Chain A
Amino acid sequence: MSTNTQAISVNDLHKHFGRSMALAGLNLQVEAGQVAGFLGPNGSGKSTTIRILLGLLRADSGNVKMLGGDPWNDAVALHRRIAYVPGEVALWPNLTGGQAIGILSSLRGGVDTAKRDSLLERFNLDPTKKARSYSKGNRQKVALVAALASDAELLLLDEPTSGLDPLMEQVFTACIREAKEQGRSVLLSSHIFAEVEKLCDTVTIIREGVTVEAGRLDDLRHLHRTTITVLLASNASALGTVPGINDLVLDGPKATFTVGAEDLGEVLEALSRYSPRSLVSAPPSLEDLFLRHYGGLPLESAATTSGRHAHAHAGGAR
């Protein structure tokens, strides 16, 4: 992978504030023209990473490249080619939303007025209102319109839909798809799994400042197990002996379990011997992926959790 196909390349990034470690060896790759999801719980370092990419914070160590440049030293030049939407948009209370859009756009080298006007209409935003009278969602729209109206090569979006209603989220989804069609790259930090699943080509999941999972969304799904619920003619306890079945939960003739992709054929063959009446299979969702990495456990015990999975997988793809 050469740098010119990469919009963002972060390797082994460290950053601390006082005594607390915010980032402890974070990796993040965003390829040009792709939409990359950036997931992690509150305080895991998503915003810190984005602020380092913007040259607002200085990295302690690590290798960070954005659009082939150094985010700290080349900040001003790089910022002509990017657009940023923060999760908490602060505006000048006594200026209107339209004025704020103008100010932010002029700092990115001008505004495409036709595009701006069509975005204002799509997001249903009144630009003549003073910013102090805007709700959180409306402030968010101001930043989104300013960012999307620019012709930036790279969009850095830090939880951009917080405060938007579902209708506006749809508009946002459509706008990001259009941006992708135009060949732009997007880094989308989000809490909304459905949004990431809909939009993103790749996903990076971080936790306590470390990348714990990264790759193409399809590949990641493959690595994880499908959940199957079956209703058998007789008591389902016999399934306990079938190799490849994990996390088995029994309820009379009903059984719920997970199975790795590599064992799926054998398990289905075994199942057919118990004459199943109904079978529901659910692919691993992003939420499953995400929760597998968190589940409220601190990092050390998470290591043992994944160890258990590895054991259950014995000889699997992992």
Chain B
Amino acid sequence: MSSETALGTVRGSSASTDSLTGVGMVMRFILRRNWLRLLIWAAVLAVMIPIVYGSQQEAFPTQAARDAYAQVANTPAVAAMTGLPYAAGSLGGILVIKIWMTLAVALGFASIFLVTRNGRADEETGRTELLRSAALGRYAYSVANYLVAGSLSVITGLLVSLLCLTLKLPTGGSWIMGASIAGTGLAFVAISAICGQLATTSRGANSLAVALLALFYFIRAGADLQAIGTDPSALSWFSPIGWAQNMRSFGQDNWWPLLALLGLAVFGCALALRLETRRDLGAGILPERGGPATASALLANPLGLVLRLQRGSLLGWLLGSLVAGLFFGSVARAMTAVLDPENPFAKSFVGTGHNLLDGVMGIFVLFNGLLAGAFAVQALAAARSEEESGRLESQLAGSLSRVSWLFSHVLVAGLGSAVMLLLSGYLTGVSSQGAATGGAMAADSLAYWPAVLLMLGVMLFGQGYFPRHSTGIAWAVYGFSVMTAMFGGLLSLSTDVIKATPFGAIPRLPAEDFAPLPLIVLSLIALVLAALGFRRFRARDLMPE
């Protein structure tokens, strides 16, 4: 009897350590598949610190300039977008205003994508099943995933702190700066871990986690708009981003909100593991709904099928451009009040236009253009994924020609981006200067369509000539265009170089005068690339993964 009990106890106790067997092995496996991705995220985020610090040192070279800025810094626009400017009179405080929110939110996105990629996405493709059938503890895979994703936050935070220290910023503030950014990342590791248990697909998990990130961002934006002076409102404690903001690096330097972020990280990951043991491999906690037993007339049409497949993403992007248009318009006026036209930073950012408001509007219209460009690339990447998955094969085995299939996708991407440009432009105009400017601003926004079409041209050329790399190359071209158009001035690139890139080539309406030539040239290049891509796609072998 007694020996049996003893045996039972031994079994019981070993079970808890068994469930972690192989964590190290899986971590090495995940790192091998993701090291470059992790490296790029950490490097790109951390390097923003010295770049932005340099530009701000140039913009506010003297204490007098910083004091003057501190007087006007606290506007609703700044509060809503980047948080309360509690230390605008110091370079550290200005650094927080300019880059903290971007870094924290970007790290949140990075954590979400990483956790989903190595969690739900692997489960969806069946890789997890294969690994779990090996001698691997029940929690090992997920714990390893959370640890790797968490390590990105820790390393990025450390790099941020060390770079701040190298720039001779105050020691306490430097450490809090890194810790608050890392804490945000860790909180979103936990949030996406839970989302990965609730949803059945990687797309669902990512959408749910990104929606939560947006929700928490807007909660803290509301809190910061409500705040009196630069004291945080109680509402900010309802958002983990708010907790991290309340650490106030280079201000009060609070350590204790970090405990709440770490608590959320640990508790959230533990909850995710608990949920994981409650469900079957491949299943989600949220129920899977049934659907129609037959295809509607819409689906029977190739264009209708593309619309149906892109429905969620189309609605999401249209909603995004609606929110962006309203937001840009409403902050444009406030921003104009803040910026000193003689300030070199303001000059490099808005250019030397007719007036400051037009300059600011020029930036926001450019933002609208960039958003539409991202939509276009993503919409055509969906075409490539039809080929990659093998679904295109079944369609082309029917009486559908390659040209009409690809053209349906181009039509949705091209017209969808035009609608996005008109919508966001119109709303930017209406919300900044009243209904009368709506039409003009929609037209200004549409001027970016040729640049968007060029993105489509690049993607189509790739779809013809190097389909396996087309998506990566199109995103790289897009990323490069965004960097030069948005930060070209900040990075001290010459105007000629900026004007030679797709989004930089378009006259920055309404700040600059309209010139048709760049639009015509971009459209022609797009047309040639698209024609070559179509021709090659008609003649080549189909290439599934």
Interface residues of A (CB under 8 A from B): 17, 51, 54-58, 75-77, 79-80, 82, 84, 86, 88-96, 98-104, 106-109, 127-130, 132-133, 143, 156
**Minimum distance in angstroms from B399 CB to a CB of chain A:** 4
Q: Does B30 count as interface, using CB distance less than 8 angstroms?
A: no
Cα of A57 to Cα of B544 in the assembled complex, Å: 11
Docked-complex contact B391 and A90, CB < 8 angstroms:
yes
Interface residues of B (CB under 8 A from A): 124, 200-201, 288-296, 299-301, 305, 308-309, 389-391, 393-401, 539-542
The 27 sampled A-B contact pairs (Cβ below 8 Å) are A51-B393, A56-B396, A56-B542, A58-B541, A75-B396, A75-B401, A76-B399, A79-B397, A79-B398, A79-B400, A84-B394, A84-B397, A92-B309, A94-B201, A95-B299, A95-B308, A98-B293, A99-B292, A99-B294, A99-B299, A100-B295, A102-B296, A104-B394, A106-B295, A107-B397, A129-B290, A130-B288
A128's contact among B292, B296, B389, B393, by CB below 8 Å, is which?
B292
B290's contact among A82, A102, A128, by CB below 8 Å, is which?
A128
Docked-complex contact B400 and A107, CB < 8 angstroms:
yes
Cα of A143 to Cα of B398 in the assembled complex, Å: 12
Which residues of chain B are within 8 angstroms of A133 by Cβ–Cβ distance? 288
Which residues of chain A are within 8 angstroms of B399 by Cβ–Cβ distance? 76-77, 79-80, 107-109
Docked-complex contact B395 and A107, CB < 8 angstroms:
yes
**With A92-B309, A102-B300, A106-B295 as contacts: A54 and B397 at CB distance below 8 Å:** yes
Docked-complex contact A104 and B200, CB < 8 angstroms:
no
Cα of A98 to Cα of B399 in the assembled complex, Å: 19
Count how many pairs of residues, one from A and one from B, have CB atoms less than 8 Å apart in the complex.
113
Which residues of chain B are within 8 angstroms of A89 by Cβ–Cβ distance? 394
The majority secondary structure among interface residues of chain B is loop
Which residues of chain B are within 8 angstroms of A103 by Cβ–Cβ distance? 295, 299-300, 305, 395
Cα of A101 to Cα of B291 in the assembled complex, Å: 13
Cα of A14 to Cα of B201 in the assembled complex, Å: 41
Using CB atoms, name the residue of chain B closest to A79. Answer: B399
Which of A88, A102, A129 has most B Cβ within 10 Å?
A102
Docked-complex contact B294 and A102, CB < 8 angstroms:
yes
Which residues of chain B are within 8 angstroms of A143 by Cβ–Cβ distance? 394
Cα of A44 to Cα of B393 in the assembled complex, Å: 20
**With A76-B401, A79-B397, A92-B309 as contacts: A106 and B300 at CB distance below 8 Å:** yes
Cα of A89 to Cα of B389 in the assembled complex, Å: 10
| Extra contacts besides A102-B299, A107-B398, A130-B288 (7): CB < 8 Å | A76-B400, A99-B291, A103-B295, A103-B299, A107-B395, A129-B290, A143-B394
Docked-complex contact B400 and A98, CB < 8 angstroms:
no
Which residues of chain A are within 8 angstroms of B394 by Cβ–Cβ distance? 84, 86, 89-90, 104, 143
Cα of A76 to Cα of B538 in the assembled complex, Å: 13
Which residues of chain A are within 8 angstroms of B296 by Cβ–Cβ distance? 99, 102
Docked-complex contact B292 and A54, CB < 8 angstroms:
no
Which residues of chain B are within 8 angstroms of A55 by Cβ–Cβ distance? 396
Which of B288, B290, B390, B394 has most A Cβ within 10 Å?
B394
Cα of A76 to Cα of B308 in the assembled complex, Å: 23
Cα of A210 to Cα of B389 in the assembled complex, Å: 29
Which residues of chain A are within 8 angstroms of B201 by Cβ–Cβ distance? 93-94, 132
Cα of A107 to Cα of B301 in the assembled complex, Å: 8
Using CB atoms, name the residue of chain B closest to A89. Answer: B394
**With A107-B399, A127-B293 as contacts: A57 and B300 at CB distance below 8 Å:** no
